[in-house]
C-alpha cells in the first residue's frame, strides 16, 4: 500500500513535531519526501514555463524544475494536469531531473491524454460516479474518485485490482466528507492480501500511515 500526500504533507503532525505549512509549497513536498509519502500536486503553465499551482498561477509560482529536483528514486508523483499541452515538457522534466521517480498524469482532457500516451508519460484513468467505463487499456492505473459519495465498494476495487495495475483511491476528506468508511474498506482489502496495488491520496498522510502502517 502507498500513501500519497495531497498537495504535499502540509498538514504536519504534532506527535512527530512536524509543523504545518502551505499546500503545494516546497516545504510540504520536502516533508512528504522525508517521510516516504508519494506526492499529488498541480501543474500549469505561465509564460512558457511549467509551474506548480492549483489555480491560475501568480508570477511567483513554484517552478516545476524545483519540484522535480527534490524527488527521490521511487518517489510516486500524481501529476494533476490543469492545462493542455504539457505532456512533452513534463516528460522532459521527469527524464532529465528525476528519471527514477514514478510519476503518473491524470485529469487531463481526452484529446490531451493522447499526447501523454504518445510521449510515454504514464497516466491513470479516472473512475468516478460519472466515469465508470474502462476505455484506456494503455493506462498505467486507475484514479478512483467519488465526488458526492463513496459510491464504490470492496468488489469494485477488487475488479480494478484484477487488472494488476495500481488503484489510487481519492480519500473522501478531499471532497469535504468523513473518510472512515472508505478507510475501513481499504483496511479490509489490505487484510485480505490485496494491499500491494492500493494507493491512497489523502490530506491526512500521517494519520493514514498510522492506520495502515503494517501494510506499507
Does residue 19 lie in a domain region?
A: yes
DSSP labels, 2-37: EEEEETSS-S-BGGGTBPP--TT-HHHHHHHHHTT-
Residue 71 DSSP one-character state: P
Does residue 192 lie in a domain region?
A: yes
Does residue 74 lie in a domain region?
A: yes
Does residue 12 lie in a domain region?
A: yes
pTM to 2 decimals?
0.96
pLDDT, one tens digit for every residue, the chain (216 residues): 999 999 999 999 999 999 999 999 999 999 999 999 999 999 999 999 999 999 999 999 999 999 999 999 999 999 999 999 999 999 999 999 999 999 999 999 999 999 999 999 999 999 999 999 888 999 999 999 999 999 999 999 999 999 999 999 999 999 999 999 999 999 999 999 999 999 999 999 999 999 999 999
Does residue 158 lie in a domain region?
A: yes
Does residue 216 lie in a domain region?
A: no
Does residue 121 lie in a domain region?
A: yes
Q: Which CATH number belongs to the domain containing residue 88 in this structure?
A: 3.20.20.190
Range of the domain at 11: 2-211
Number of domains composing the chain? 1
Amino acid at each position: 500500500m502507498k500513501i500519497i500526500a495531497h498537495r504535499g504533507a502540509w498538514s504536519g503532525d504534532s506527535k512527530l513535531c512536524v509543523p504545518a505549512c502551505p499546500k503545494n509549497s516546497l516545504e510540504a513536498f520536502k516533508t512528504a519526501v522525508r517521510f516516504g509519502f508519494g506526492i499529488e500536486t498541480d501543474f500549469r503553465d505561465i509564460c512558457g514555463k511549467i509551474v506548480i499551482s492549483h489555480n491560475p498561477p501568480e508570477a511567483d509560482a513554484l517552478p516545476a524544475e524545483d519540484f522535480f529536483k527534490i524527488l527521490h528514486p521511487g518517489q510516486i508523483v500524481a501529476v494533476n494536469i490543469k492545462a493542455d499541452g504539457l505532456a512533452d515538457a513534463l516528460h522532459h522534466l521527469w527524464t532529465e531531473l528525476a528519471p527514477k521517480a514514478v510519476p503518473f498524469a491524470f485529469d487531463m482532457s481526452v484529446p490531451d491524454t493522447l499526447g501523454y500516451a504518445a510521449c510515454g508519460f504514464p497516466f491513470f484513468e479516472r473512475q468516478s460516479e460519472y466515469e465508470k467505463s474502462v476505455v484506456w487499456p494503455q493506462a498505467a492505473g486507475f484514479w478512483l474518485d467519488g465526488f458526492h459519495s463513496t459510491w464504490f465498494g470492496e468488489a469494485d476495487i477488487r475488479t480494478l485490482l484484477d487488472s494488476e495495475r495500481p488503484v489510487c483511491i481519492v480519500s473522501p476528506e478531499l471532497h469535504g466528507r468523513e473518510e472512515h468508511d472508505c478507510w475501513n474498506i481499504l483496511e479490509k482489502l489490505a487484510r485480505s492480501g490485496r494491499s500491494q496495488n492500493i494507493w491512497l491520496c489523502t490530506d491526512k498522510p500521517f494519520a493514514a500511515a498510522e492506520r495502515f502502517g503494517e501494510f506499507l
